[in-house]
Amino acid sequence: MKQLVKIGLGVFLLIGLGSLTVFAAVESISDEGIEGDIFGKKSGIIHPFLGVSGTYTDNMTNANENEESDYYTIISPGVMLALPGTGATDVSMSSATGAPGGLAQSRRSLSTSRRFQGIAVYNPEFKKYSDNSDEDFTSQRVAGEFQYNAPVGLSIDIAAKHQYAQEMWNETPDSIDHAKYQDNVTSAIVDFALSPKFSLTAGGSYYTLAYKQDEFEYRDRDDRGFFGAVNFHIQPKTKLFCQYDRIDIRYDNDASEDQDNAEDTVSVGVDWRITSKSFGRCSVGFVDKDYDDSDKDDESTWNGEVSLSHMFTTRTMVTATAVRGYYESNLASSDFYTTNRVSLGYTQAFTHKLFANMMLSYQNDDYDNVSVENDTWTFSPGVGFSPYRWLTCRLSWNHSDRDSDQEDWEYTTNEYTLSLTASF
């Protein structure tokens, strides 16, 4: 743990000092100075943030019986660095330990017209329990992204993320431990415009996953992937595409070598980014899962992905995500599971300071080799108040319910959270 903290702080300080050095150089040669302040504002280089929340849970471990309630506090400081200076943002990489390649959704590259743009984020999280201090945990997240746009129609976008984290309670029902892991994901996307109507996209990724407890070592693995796509632009910021993906999944543990496999996917879809108020991606395709072990049956199914965000008015926004495909199993007795996930979000601003939002999600996981199928529903409404542009208070309720063929995996949990977030 101490080594991870040192690494994170080292990366943070290195990037920070480098950014400040460049900033000083730019400031010294500019006759008109830098627009905006170095801290915050739309052209800021350094964007610090801090989140503090308190949560009461009536089922701390997502148990089916003998539920235990507790109160926990999360303190989450962080800083985002941008060069050149830009508004506060984050690296768009939604990871999942079970997803082949490590990404829960296809990664979107930065949206910028600048020749180059770089961002870096460091964000630790300190979680403290009131009655179960032995479960206190500190997570780490370091992420960065860099994009270069050449005048010949070539764009190169590279992103990476390292994190030390926990899975949610009761993710592995045959263990009472809270699984802790370290993962790293690196992704590159290259776009080249052949003409105003046609372009090519290609890229690759590398994902590593390592659990801290020996009992979860059978899940340690390295994934390597690449993809290529042909795009037809029906409008300047809307394209149809046909894409091929391949991901090689290699397990580190000798006992799991028979689970080594490769996924080949062909898909078609549409991607749009009309404005910052409306963007999304929808695709559908076919995936083939080919095991190296000839004794295992190869699998195939259709897959799909939806990710969209749209502001209907200046005060109303809707988001939606959906995914279907194969996930690597978190059960030792199963090789993989087919997952279907849907999430809907709604945000309504009543005034410039008062708003409400809601999230509803459904997840179905059907496991191979065993008779286990899970259905999980989550509903999370909340209200928020922003007395200042940089400060937000929010009160929320999160209700989760899982129905499973494996009784130990079932649970119902309610959490009530009061949070305070400052972002500059």
Residue 402 clears pLDDT 90, i.e. is over it: yes
Average pLDDT over residues 49-76: 96
CB 183 within 8 A of CB 209: yes
Find, among 234, 237, 317, 321, the residue nearest to 277 by Cα.
317
Average pLDDT over residues 139-151: 95
What SS3 state is found at 66? coil
pLDDT category at 43 given cuts 50, 70, 90 is low
Percentages helix, strand, coil for the chain (3-state, rounded to 5) are: 10, 60, 30
CB 79 within 8 A of CB 89: no
Q: Which residues face 232 on adjacent strands?
A: 198, 240
* DSSP code of residue 14: H
At 329-377, the pLDDT tens digits run 998 889 999 999 999 999 999 999 999 999 999 999 999 989 999 999 9
Residue 273 clears pLDDT 90, i.e. is over it: no
List the helix and strand counts (H, then E) for the chain: 1, 19
pLDDT score, position 174: 61
Residue 176 clears pLDDT 90, i.e. is over it: no
Long-range CB pairs of 57-61, under 8 A, 24+ apart, other chains included: 57/413, 57/414, 57/415, 58/413, 58/414, 58/415, 59/411, 59/412, 59/413, 59/414, 60/129, 60/132, 60/135, 60/169, 61/169, 61/170, 61/178
Residue 21 clears pLDDT 60, i.e. is over it: no
Q: d(Cα 86, Cα 154) in Å, to the nearest integer? A: 22
Average pLDDT over residues 83-103: 87
Residue 28 clears pLDDT 80, i.e. is over it: no
**Buried b or exposed e, range 14-50, using 16+ CB within 10 angstroms:** ebbeebeeebeeeeeeeeeeeeeebebeeebbbbbbe
Least confident range of 8-12, 213-217, 268-272, 346-350: 8-12
> Whole-number mean pLDDT of the chain?
88
pLDDT score, position 125: 97
Residue 23 clears pLDDT 70, i.e. is over it: no
Highest mean pLDDT among 27-36, 99-108, 392-401: 392-401
Q: d(Cα 415, Cα 406) in Å, to the nearest integer? A: 24
pLDDT category at 134 given cuts 50, 70, 90 is very high
Structure tokens at 250: 């290699």
Q: d(Cα 278, Cα 357) in Å, to the nearest integer? A: 18
More confident residue, 171 or 243: 243
pLDDT score, position 178: 83
Rg, the chain, Cα only:
22
pLDDT category at 275 given cuts 50, 70, 90 is confident
Find, among 315, 360, 332, the residue nearest to 251 by Cα.
332
More confident residue, 424 or 26: 424
**Buried b or exposed e, range 396-424, using 16+ CB within 10 angstroms:** bebebebebebeebbbbbebebebebebb
Average pLDDT over residues 27-33: 32
